[in-house]
Amino acid sequence: MLNETIAQTQAFATTLIRDGMRIALVHSITGIARHHLLDLRKSIHGDDAPMQGRMPNDTMAYIKSGQSTVALATVVAVYVGAEKKHKSPVEAFMDAWAVAKLFADGATPLDINAAWYAVRDVKAGLITWAYCKNCKAGYLLDTKQTKKTDICPYCGAQKQKQIEVAQ
């Protein structure tokens, strides 16, 4: 059983790295040592893998730079549902990421790092997970910083009249 768990975690790490997740985030999700992840990254992407410089470090920075609030909300919704089924954080995120890839439109691909930050920020209470009173969809609501989350991304209902913040 332990070998299965290790193999499964290694497979998850491979998928996350192949899909562009930063090594630091893969390490935080899987617990695999960074030097092993760097070796895995090299075996996946080769010597000409793109350099990993600074990146946004929260959900709102990704939304401001053009990431889809609908796609991010979808990831969080699937993650929350998978976690309720007693899945580990890495299993829940892998489920959520698989769904996000199914619904990706190709024109604006979802950044896997943004997806993880959306999950992390909701779980940490940095972003509110709200439910629209109009369409009942869950979505990301930043009550402090930006107007980009003031309306439901699914039906367009206004925050002030149509939102019931999740407890």
**Distance of alpha carbon 84 from alpha carbon 89, whole angstroms:** 10
Task: Answer whether residue 24 shows pLDDT above 60.
Answer: yes
What per-residue confidence (pLDDT) applies to 77?
92
In the chain, domain spans: 2-45, 59-165
Which residues have C-beta within 8 Å of that of residue 68, sequence separation ≥ 6?
108, 110, 153
160 — pLDDT class (breaks 50, 70, 90): very low
**Distance of alpha carbon 39 from alpha carbon 70, whole angstroms:** 34
Mean pLDDT of the residues in the chain = 84
pLDDT in tens, 75-103: 999 999 999 998 889 999 999 999 998 87
What per-residue confidence (pLDDT) applies to 165?
46
122 — pLDDT class (breaks 50, 70, 90): very high
pLDDT in tens, 33-77: 999 999 999 999 887 766 666 777 888 888 888 888 889 999 999
Can you give the three-state secondary structure of the chain, one letter per residue? CHHHHHHHHHHHHHHHHHCCCCHHHHHHHHCCCHHHHHHHHHHHHCCCCCCCCCCCCCHHHHHHCCCCHHHHHHHHHHHHHHHHCCCCHHHHHHHHHHHHHHHCCCCCCCCHHHHHHHHHHHHHCCCEEEEECCCCCEEEECCCCCHHHCECCCCCCEHHHHEEECC
What per-residue confidence (pLDDT) applies to 1?
54
What per-residue confidence (pLDDT) applies to 162?
40
What global pTM score does this model have? 0.83
